[in-house]
Structure 1
Amino acid sequence: MKKHTRILTVLLSLWALAAHANLSDLLISEIAITPTEGEFIEIHNKGGNVIDLTDVYLTDATYPGGGGTYYYQLVSGGGGGGGFADFYARFPAGASIAPGAYQTIALNGAVDFNNLYGVDPTYEIANTNAVPDMLEARIGSIDGLSSGLSGGGEVVVLLHWDGQSDLMQDLDYVLWGDKNEAVSKTGISIDGPDADGTPTSYLDDTDITSQAVVSASSHASGMSWQRSDMNEGNETKTGGNGISGHDETSEDTNNTFFEDTPTPNAAAGNPPAPQIIINEVDAVGSAEFIELTGPANVSTSGITLVMYDGATDQIYDVYDLSGYQLSADGYLLIGDAGLSPDIVLPAGSLQDGPDAVAIYYADASQFTIGDGITSTDIMDALVYDSGQADDAGLLALINNGEPQINENENADATNQSMARCPNASGGSLNSSTYQAVDPTPGLLNNLCPIGDYYATADDTNATTLRNSLHEIIDDHTSFPYSNDGIDDTWEVLSFADEDPTDPSKVWMIYKNNSYTYNGGGQQPYNREHTWPQSYGFSSGALGSDNTARTDAHHLMMSDVGYNGNRGNLYFDNCDSGCTNDVTTANHGQGGPGINNKYDSNSYEVWDFRKGDIARAMFYMDVRYAGDVSGEVDLQLTDNAGLIQTGDPYMGLLSTLIQWHNQDPVDSYELERNERVYSYQGNRNPFIDHPEWVECIFINGGQCTTVADDLIFKNGFE
C-alpha cells in the first residue's frame, strides 16, 4: 500500500512539474477598465497542456510614487496591494486552466459582471459568493479595491512565484496610459525566504522609456483591450526576468492589443487592419522596390503582398509579410538587395506594366499564382504602367475613377519611381497623388515637385494674395491632438522635428537640445503652441482636436521647462530686465550669447529660430480666417493691449517682420515644411516664398514684382 502511495506521490509531483513547465503559454489576453462594474482581466492558455495556477499571481500593486512600492517585493514580505485601490491576488490552490481556454477575473465582483456581460467570471476579487474568490497574496492585499484599474496610467502583471525562492518570474506584463507605474527590475537584488542569507539579483529589464504602452489613455467605456498576437509580438525572448528567460517588459503591446467589444471567457474579435498603404513603387530600372508606410513600428503580420500581371489579370507573385514590422520612421521596404531592404526582391521581379501591386489583410495561403483579381480584404493597391494603355481589369482594384499611374510620365522611367506626393497622401485605394519622381526607398517622399501648388496665388495686391493663399492652404488634413502616438500630433512632430543627425531623437525649438523620442505623455519634452492656444483656440473653447491647436506648422517640440518659461508671452525683443533661457551648442548653433530672453510680457527667441517662429506666425494669420465653422480669425498686431487670453491676437507684428528679415529660410526649415506637408497636405507659403511677407504684412496692400524691385530699389524713381 505504501509503495502505491509513493508511486502516486511521484506521479502527482511529475504532473505538477509538467503543469508549471508550461507556464510560458499563459498570457493576459484581455483587459477591461471601464465601466467600473465591468472591469476584468482575462488570461489565456495558448498551449496544448493543462497549466496549474496554484502559484500564479495577478496584480496592479506597483506604486513608485507611494514610497517605492513594487509587486516583486512580495518575496521579502512587501509588495503592495490593499492601498491606492490596488490589488495583489493569487489563484486558489489547485486552480488550473485547460489548453486553449480563456478565464476571467472580475475586479468588481461576479454579480455586476454577470449583469453587464450575461456570463459569470471564472474568479472574482470582491467576495459575493457567486464564483470562486481570488486569494490574498499577503494579508490585506485585496482590501480597499474601490475603483479598480485606472485609465490614466497602470500596469497589470501576471507572475509566478513558488513561495520559496528569492525571485519571481513574470508571465505577462501590460502597461497603458502614462509610465508612472512602469517597472524595471534592473539592478534589483532581493534576499527572500530561501534562508541562505544571500541576496539574489534580477536580470536587466527593458528600460522604462523604451517600454510600449497599449494606449496613452483609457479605452472607450464598454470596450476592452484584446490581444491579437498570442506569440507576444516582437518581445525580446532571452535574458529577461520572465518565464523561460523572456523579457516581458519588452513586448510591443501597442501592436499586439486592439480595442473592441469585450469577449470575456472567449477568444478576441477580429483586429482591425493596420493603417498601412503603398507609398512608392519602382518597377522599371535596376533597383526595383515596393515601399509601404504607416504608423511607426506597427506589425505587418497577417498582411500579404500580391502582384498582378496585366496581360492576364492574374496573380504572378505572392509575399507573406508576417513577422515583419514598419521601421521607427514608419516604412517597410521590399526591394532589390542593393537597397538593404527589409525583404529582398529578386532582380527583375516587378513587371513593367500595365500591372499592379496590392496588399491584403489576409493570410498568404488564400492567394495562389494564377488566381484572378480579388478585392476581398484589400488594404491598398497601385495600378501602373510605363507608357501602356489603361487596363480596365486591374483598375477594378482601386477606387472608381482613380488613375493608372505612368512611371514613364517624364520619359525617365529607368531613373524615377512612382511615389505619393506629398508623402503618404491620397488615402487607401486612391492613386491620384502619385507622381513620377526621383526614388526615395525607405524614406520620406521629400523630392516631390511642388508643381502648380501655388498656381492660383494672386499677387495683384495684399488682399488678393492673402485670400488666394488662404484658399490654397486651408482645409488641410488634421490629426488628433493625442491618440497614443498613432496618427496624432505626437507622430507628426516626431517626424517634423526629428534631429537631423539622429533619427531616434527630436530637436527642441527653444533650448536647442535633443531628446530620445519615447512617444507622447510625460516626457522631458512636450508640444509648444508657438501661437499660444489661449489666444483664440483653446481646447476648452473649440475642443481638444481643433485644427489650429493641432496644426504642426506652428506646433513644435520643446523642452518642458523652456515651454513653461515661454508660457503665452507674445514675441518681442527683450532689451533690459530680461531673464535668459540659455541654448545649448547643438548642430553648430547656440552657445554663449545666443539665448532666448524674456520678461513679464514678451519672449525673444534665439537668433537661429527667429525667422522660423516669424514665418509660423505669418502662416497662422493667413491660414485661419474664421471662414469655417469651428475655426477662428487669427490676427497679428503691434497693439500689445489686444493680446489677451481668449482673444485671437498675437504679435508683435513689426518684431516678427524684423525676425523674418534677420533670419532667412534655411535648409532645416525647408525640410520641416516638407515633412509637415507630407502629413497635413498643406505648406507654409512664407517658407516657399519669403517675399510674400512684404506684400501682405508690410506694403499695406501694394505688391511689387521682382522686376519692380530691381528697377526701383536704388531710388530710380
Structure 2
Amino acid sequence: MKSMMMLMLLLFLMPVQAGTPISEYENLLITEVVVTPTDAEMIEIHNKGGVTLDLTDVYLTDATFSNGNVYYYQVVSGAGGGGDFNDFFARFPNGASIAPGAYQTISINGSDNFFSTYGVNPTYELFEDGAGADTVDDMVEATPGSIDDDPGGTVAGVSALSGGEVAVLFYWDGNSDLVQDIDYVVWGDKREAVDKTGISIDGPDADAITSVYLDDTVIASQAVINASSHAGGNSWQRGNLNEGNETGSNGNGVNGDDETSEDLNNTFFEGLPTPNAAAGAPPAPNLIINEVDAVSSGGEFVEIYGSANTSADNLSLVFYDGDTDQVYQVIDLTGSSTDSNGFLLVGNTGLSPDVTIADDSLQDGADAVALYNIDASAFIVGDPVTVNDIMDALVYDSGQADDAGLLTLINPGQSQIDEGSNGNAANESMARCPNASGGSLNTSTYQAVDPTPGVLNSLCPLGDYYATADDTNATTLRNTLHEIIDDHIVFPYSAGTTDTWDVLSFADEDPNDSNLVWMIYKNNSYTWKGGGQQAYNREHTWPQSYGFSSGSLGDDNAARTDAHHLMLSDVTYNGNRGNLYFDDCNAGCTELTTDVNNGVGGGSGTYPGNSNWFDGDSFEVWNFRKGDIARAMFYMDLRYAGDVSGEVDLQLTDNPGDIQTGQPFMGLLSVLIDWHNGDPVDSIEQIRNERVYSYQGNRNPFIDHPEWVECIFVQGGACTTVGDDLIFASDFD
C-alpha cells in the first residue's frame, strides 16, 4: 500500500505534457494543391519543424463568401463559410497530429477517388465516400453543415477547388476572439480572397470585449499561385518552404506574420503530383535573355527578364568564344533576382547593374552568351559548348560569319544575330522586339535597336507585323487586322506581380520627367507613387460598364485591362467623365479646363478652347486628345469581336439609345471619325502605342495606319493598299 501511495504521489508531481506551443505552427505549410481533374482534388500539408504538431485545433477551408459577408474567421462567433457552392469548412479530427518532416493529404472527393488516381490513400478525406466507414479519417465540420449541408444527404465536395479559390489553414483554440492564420494560398481570380484588416469581433470567451485584427495585405496586392488552373494531371507544389517574400511581422499569423503577403507566384510551381511526399525538383525559373550589348565601351550588358522578384540562385551566365567554341567567362547569378519589373541586369559599373562585369569584357562576335539552370561551379574557362541545363542563349556577331559550333546552343533554324545590322553596332544593342517575345532559345524577334538596359525594349521596328492585313474591302481588312491584334498578353488589373498599374506607369510616362505620369483629360502630371488610392486613377475610355465589367467577366478580363484604351487620369476628372459617351458639346455643358503642360493645354473659358466639356449624357475631349481617344475607340471595336470565350462584341454606334449600362455599345461613331480626322496621329501617341506593345504584344493599327479608319468605319470609304500611289488613291486616273 505504501509503495502504491508513493507511485501515485510521483505521478501527481510529474509535469503534465504541455500542448504544442503556438509558435511551432509557423512550421505547418500548405505544400501542394490539385484543382483538376475533379476526382483528384486534394490539399497537402507539411510539418517542416522539429516538433510533432497537434492538429485538433487546426482548420482548413476554401470557403469565403464576400457576397454574403460570411468568412472563415467568423467561426469564433459561431458562424463561418462552408458547405455551399461545393465549398468546405473543416477541422482536423480530434487527436490528429503531424510528425516532424511529414507530409499529409486531405482528399476533397473521398479516399476511393484519391486511391484510384494516385495509387495511395490520403491521410484524411473530407467526407466518407464509401458505403461504410474505412480506415481513412474523415475531417470534422467546423460549423454545422460546413462540409455536407445537402438535406438529401449528398456530399458537397465536387469541384470544390476549381476556378478562383483560396485555401486557408488556421488555428483556433475554441475560446479566443481571433483566429490565427497558419498558411494562406490563393489562385484564380481572387474573388474569394480575404482581407481581415481592422475587423472587430468577439469570440465565446467570458468577456464582452471585442478584439481587432491587424492589417492583412490588401486583396488587390495579394499574389496568386496562377490566374488559371494547372494542367490536368498536374498539381501546384511549393518550391520554397521559407514562404518567399512573406512579410514577417505585424500580421495575423501565429507568429505575427502576414500570411496574405506571400509571393505565391514565385513560391509554387506546376509539376506531377507527389501526394504524401516532398515536391519534385522545381523547373528552371521562367527567365530569358532579353537584350545584349556586346559592342560598347563601358556600356556592355546582358539583360535577363522574367517574373518580378524571381530568384536567380544557382543560375549561371556563360560566355563562349567563337574562335574556339569554348567558355571564356562565367558569371554566378546566385544572390541576385529580377526587380519588381522583372529585370536583372548584368553589366558595366556605369549602368548601375545588379551584377557587375568588367568594362570591355564581352567579346564582339561571332560569340555567344547562355543562361543555365546550374551552379557556376559546373563551368570552368576552356570548357566546350554544352546544352545541358540550358535555359536560353544568344549567338551574335558584329559582321562576322555564322559560327556553326555556337549555333548548337539555340533551336534549329534560329539565326545568329548581327549587332551591326544597321551599321551602328557601337550605339545599338540586340533586343527582343517586342519585349520578352520569341521564346527561349529562339532569336527570331531580336533586332538592333537603341539600348534599354534594365527597362522595357521599346520603339522596335515593326517588321512584318501587318504582313497578313488584307484591305481588299472593309470586311477583309477588319477580319485580318482582328486576327493580328487578337490574343494579346493580358496583365491582371491589380496584383502583386506586373499589372495594369505597371503598364500605365510606362505608357503614360511624362516625356520630360520619367518620375511623372501624364493625365489624359486634365493634362497635368503627378509624381508616380504606384497603384492604389492616389490623386490619379485608371480611366476606361471605353467605360467598363458598357460590356465588360468586372462583375460580368471578372476583374482581369482582357477588355477591362487593355492599356490601349486604359489611361491614367486625374481622379476628379475621371469622376466627371464617368461613363458618358463621346460627343461634341451642343449647349449648356460644364467646362473642365486643362493645365499648360508639355507645351499644350490651358483652358480658355470659351468653347471649345483647350477644355473638356460635359453634360448629363456626353463628354467632349479637349482638342489635343480628341484623335487619341477616337483611335482608342476604333481599336476596341476592332479588337473585341465576341469570338473568344469571355470576350464581348464591342460596337461603335451613332444611336445614343443603344449606349446603355450592360450593353456593348459606345459612341458616337460619326463624331469619333471627325475627331480622328481633326487631330492626326502625333509622336506622343506613337510612343504610347510602342510602349503598350512592349507589354501586351499587340498594337493599335489606327495609330500605325490612320487611313484604315476610313476603310472600316466610313460607309463606302476607300480601302487603299498601303504603298499604292497616293494620286490614284485620291481617285485621279
Instruction: Assess, with a 3 A threshold, how the Cα gap between structure 1 residues 262 and 505 changes in structure 2: closer, same or farther.
Output: farther
1:156 corresponds to which of 167, 174, 196: 167
- Aligned pairs for 1:202-601 (under 5 A) are 202-219=213-230, 223-269=234-280, 271-283=282-294, 284-300=296-312, 303-321=315-333, 324-364=336-376, 366-410=378-422, 412-449=424-461, 475=484, 478-479=487-488, 494=503, 498-500=507-509, 572-573=583-584, 575=586, 594-595=611-612
Q: Residues 533 and 549 of structure 1 are in contact (CA less than 8 Å); yes or no, is this contact kept in structure 2?
A: no
Question: Which residue in 2 is equivalent to 1:135?
Answer: 140
- Structure 1 vs Structure 2 CA RMSD: 5.6
Q: Residues 528 and 557 of structure 1 are in contact (CA less than 8 Å); yes or no, is this contact kept in structure 2?
A: no
- Find the residue that maps to 1:244 and give its secondary structure: coil
Question: Which residue in 1 is equivalent to 2:67?
Answer: 65
User: 1:643 and 1:87 mapped to 2: Cα distance?
Assistant: 42
- Find the residue that maps to 1:305 and give its secondary structure: strand
User: Per-residue deviation at 1:122?
Assistant: 0.5
User: Per-residue deviation at 1:496?
Assistant: 8.7
Deviates more, 1:435-444 or 1:90-99: 90-99
Question: Which residue in 1 is equivalent to 2:58?
Answer: 56
Q: Residues 276 and 293 of structure 1 are in contact (CA less than 8 Å); yes or no, is this contact kept in structure 2?
A: yes
Instruction: Assess, with a 3 A threshold, how the Cα gap between structure 1 residues 201 and 556 changes in structure 2: closer, same or farther.
Output: closer
1:378-405 deviations in Å (ceiling 9; x for gaps): 2221112344443322121112333323
- Find the residue that maps to 2:137 and give its secondary structure: coil
User: 2:234 and 2:493 mapped to 1: Cα distance?
Assistant: 17
Matched letter for residue 5 of structure 1? L
Is 2:84 the counterpart of 1:84? Answer: yes
User: 1:398 and 1:449 mapped to 2: Cα distance?
Assistant: 23
Question: Which residue in 1 is equivalent to 2:99?
Answer: 98
Q: Residues 489 and 695 of structure 2 are in contact (CA less than 8 Å); yes or no, is this contact kept in structure 1?
A: no
User: 1:663 and 1:576 mapped to 2: Cα distance?
Assistant: 22
Question: Which residue in 2 is equivalent to 1:111?
Answer: 112
User: Per-residue deviation at 1:295?
Assistant: 4.0
User: 2:596 and 2:186 mapped to 1: Cα distance?
Assistant: 34
- Aligned pairs for 1:193-208 (under 5 A) are 201-208=212-219
Unaligned ranges ≥5, structure 2 = 1-6, 150-154
User: 2:187 and 2:596 mapped to 1: Cα distance?
Assistant: 34
Aligned length: 680
User: 1:432 and 1:238 mapped to 2: Cα distance?
Assistant: 47
| Fraction of identical pairs, as percent | 59
Matched letter for residue 674 of structure 1? E
**TM-score, normalising length from structure 2?**
0.73
Instruction: Assess, with a 3 A threshold, how the Cα gap between structure 1 residues 469 and 431 changes in structure 2: closer, same or farther.
Output: farther
Q: Residues 492 and 552 of structure 1 are in contact (CA less than 8 Å); yes or no, is this contact kept in structure 2?
A: no
User: 1:208 and 1:621 mapped to 2: Cα distance?
Assistant: 31
- Find the residue that maps to 2:703 and give its secondary structure: helix
Q: Residues 157 and 170 of structure 1 are in contact (CA less than 8 Å); yes or no, is this contact kept in structure 2?
A: yes
2:182 corresponds to which of 171, 191, 194: 171
User: 1:134 and 1:643 mapped to 2: Cα distance?
Assistant: 52
User: 2:330 and 2:560 mapped to 1: Cα distance?
Assistant: 44
Instruction: Assess, with a 3 A threshold, how the Cα gap between structure 1 residues 340 and 146 changes in structure 2: closer, same or farther.
Output: same
**TM-score, normalising length from structure 1?**
0.75
Deviates more, 1:35-44 or 1:265-274: 265-274
Instruction: Assess, with a 3 A threshold, how the Cα gap between structure 1 residues 516 and 255 changes in structure 2: closer, same or farther.
Output: farther
User: Per-residue deviation at 1:62?
Assistant: 3.4
User: 1:168 and 1:586 mapped to 2: Cα distance?
Assistant: 54
User: 2:638 and 2:147 mapped to 1: Cα distance?
Assistant: 58
- Find the residue that maps to 2:405 and give its secondary structure: helix
User: 2:47 and 2:403 mapped to 1: Cα distance?
Assistant: 50
User: 1:703 and 1:378 mapped to 2: Cα distance?
Assistant: 48
User: 2:596 and 2:28 mapped to 1: Cα distance?
Assistant: 48
Q: Residues 521 and 594 of structure 2 are in contact (CA less than 8 Å); yes or no, is this contact kept in structure 1?
A: no
Deviates more, 1:466-475 or 1:179-188: 466-475
Instruction: Assess, with a 3 A threshold, how the Cα gap between structure 1 residues 556 and 94 changes in structure 2: closer, same or farther.
Output: same
Q: Residues 497 and 557 of structure 1 are in contact (CA less than 8 Å); yes or no, is this contact kept in structure 2?
A: no
Instruction: Assess, with a 3 A threshold, how the Cα gap between structure 1 residues 451 and 619 changes in structure 2: closer, same or farther.
Output: same
User: 1:135 and 1:100 mapped to 2: Cα distance?
Assistant: 24
Instruction: Assess, with a 3 A threshold, how the Cα gap between structure 1 residues 30 and 503 changes in structure 2: closer, same or farther.
Output: farther
Instruction: Assess, with a 3 A threshold, how the Cα gap between structure 1 residues 29 and 288 changes in structure 2: closer, same or farther.
Output: same
Question: Which residue in 1 is equivalent to 2:11?
Answer: 5
Instruction: Assess, with a 3 A threshold, how the Cα gap between structure 1 residues 63 and 299 changes in structure 2: closer, same or farther.
Output: farther
User: Per-residue deviation at 1:41?
Assistant: 1.7
- Find the residue that maps to 1:172 and give its secondary structure: strand
User: Per-residue deviation at 1:173?
Assistant: 0.5
Q: Residues 176 and 214 of structure 1 are in contact (CA less than 8 Å); yes or no, is this contact kept in structure 2?
A: yes
User: Per-residue deviation at 1:43?
Assistant: 0.5
User: Per-residue deviation at 1:261?
Assistant: 4.7
User: 1:241 and 1:648 mapped to 2: Cα distance?
Assistant: 43
1:297-333 deviations in Å (ceiling 9; x for gaps): 5554564433323343333444454565433433222
User: 1:241 and 1:442 mapped to 2: Cα distance?
Assistant: 36
User: Per-residue deviation at 1:475?
Assistant: 3.7
1:653-689 deviations in Å (ceiling 9; x for gaps): 6533420233333444222211243356665454346
- Find the residue that maps to 2:255 and give its secondary structure: helix
Q: Residues 204 and 241 of structure 1 are in contact (CA less than 8 Å); yes or no, is this contact kept in structure 2?
A: yes
Question: Which residue in 1 is equivalent to 2:4?
Answer: none
User: 2:72 and 2:664 mapped to 1: Cα distance?
Assistant: 48
- Find the residue that maps to 1:5 and give its secondary structure: helix
1:541-566 deviations in Å (ceiling 9; x for gaps): xxxx999999875687999x989975
Question: Which residue in 2 is equivalent to 1:43?
Answer: 45
1:685-716 deviations in Å (ceiling 9; x for gaps): 5434657868998996598999x999xx9xxx
User: 2:563 and 2:312 mapped to 1: Cα distance?
Assistant: 28
User: Per-residue deviation at 1:252?
Assistant: 1.1
User: 2:71 and 2:198 mapped to 1: Cα distance?
Assistant: 16
Question: Which residue in 1 is equivalent to 2:156?
Answer: 146
Instruction: Assess, with a 3 A threshold, how the Cα gap between structure 1 residues 373 and 585 changes in structure 2: closer, same or farther.
Output: same
Deviates more, 1:423-432 or 1:409-418: 409-418
Matched letter for residue 664 of structure 1? P
User: 1:244 and 1:587 mapped to 2: Cα distance?
Assistant: 50
Instruction: Assess, with a 3 A threshold, how the Cα gap between structure 1 residues 146 and 7 changes in structure 2: closer, same or farther.
Output: same
Unaligned ranges ≥5, structure 1 = none
Instruction: Assess, with a 3 A threshold, how the Cα gap between structure 1 residues 608 and 101 changes in structure 2: closer, same or farther.
Output: farther
Q: Residues 355 and 385 of structure 1 are in contact (CA less than 8 Å); yes or no, is this contact kept in structure 2?
A: yes
Deviates more, 1:61-70 or 1:632-641: 632-641
Deviates more, 1:274-283 or 1:653-662: 653-662
User: 2:45 and 2:518 mapped to 1: Cα distance?
Assistant: 42
- Find the residue that maps to 1:233 and give its secondary structure: coil
Instruction: Assess, with a 3 A threshold, how the Cα gap between structure 1 residues 636 and 253 changes in structure 2: closer, same or farther.
Output: closer
Matched letter for residue 146 of structure 1? A
